Amino acid sequence: MTTTISPLIAGNWKMNVMRGALEELAALAGMLTSGEAPRAIVVICPPATILSEVAHQGATSGIQAGGQDCHTQAQGAHTGDISAGMLADAGAQYVIVGHSERRADHGETDAQVCAKAEAAIGAGLKPIICVGETEAQRDSGEAEAIVAAQLATSIPDAANQHEVIVAYEPIWAIGTGRTPTILEIARMHDSIREQLNARFAEKGPTIRILYGGSLKPQNAREILAVENVNGGLVGGASLLAKDFYTIISAV
């Protein structure tokens, strides 16, 4: 992990929980406040239905809230969508954009992801911009080139003046229990850092690069120790307080 960047651990609850999950949030808050203060910024991205409650309840223990997606427009006739401003109004400070599940299920392009990131910045949110390759792309040796192309067209120029986070999630590792080797993670994160440094000059070395994709208590310490891994985007393991706390504590 790059020591000059404060790490961030974000939990993506996806479409998995209802109000009962607030009990797990309370349990996590208790763990975070009863022992040594965590070295990482902790973010929970719940379904929009409980976002305001997560933001309110988490505030007392330093847990910040984020959305899982936002629309490119600030308002308008977009039934079923949610704007970045609405997320901010509900208490969010972050928002995930371009997750592979959004790209696959809704056909989101890099250009749309970039527009969503711009909308998030305009609403005062910090976008967590996701990139990653498929198994076929990895096997064919295209992984770094695919991710570099995604970075080039998914990150807005506004990242020069505003905080953005990059999350590298190899698609073939999300929710499968499989993870790249430590060497593969290190190579990809180094490649991403090189891309950020080349494009954003002095700002490049300060942009957080998170790792996601079957990040769990058993492998968190080893993965989070890798240079240029500045935290994690956690899926299933963030749903249980004890598992998520173990990952946070691994920083």
Q: Buried b vs exposed e over 33-60: b needs ≥16 C-beta within 10 Å?
A: eeeeebebbbbbbbbbebbbbbbebbee
Cα-Cα end-to-end distance for the chain: 9
pLDDT, one tens digit per residue, over 112-142 is 999 999 999 999 999 999 999 999 999 999 9
- Cα–Cα dist 87/52, whole Å: 9
Q: Looking at 13-154, which runs of residues are DSSP E strands?
A: 41-45, 63-67, 94-97, 126-131
Question: Pick from 158, 153, 143, 244: which is nearest to 188 by CA?
Answer: 143
Whether the CB-CB separation of 240 and 11 falls below 8 Å is answered with no
pLDDT, one tens digit per residue, over 14-68 is 999 999 999 999 999 999 999 788 899 999 999 999 999 999 999 999 999 999 9
Residue 142 has what DSSP assignment?
-
Walk me through the domains of the chain, giving residue ranges and CATH numbers: 8-15+44-74+84-249 (3.20.20.70)
- Cα–Cα dist 244/235, whole Å: 10
pTM beyond 0.85: the answer is yes
pLDDT, one tens digit per residue, over 69-116 is 999 999 999 999 999 999 999 999 999 999 999 999 999 999 999 999
Compute φ and ψ for 152, nearest 5 degrees: -65, -35
Active site residues: 99, 169
Whether the CB-CB separation of 16 and 242 falls below 8 Å is answered with no
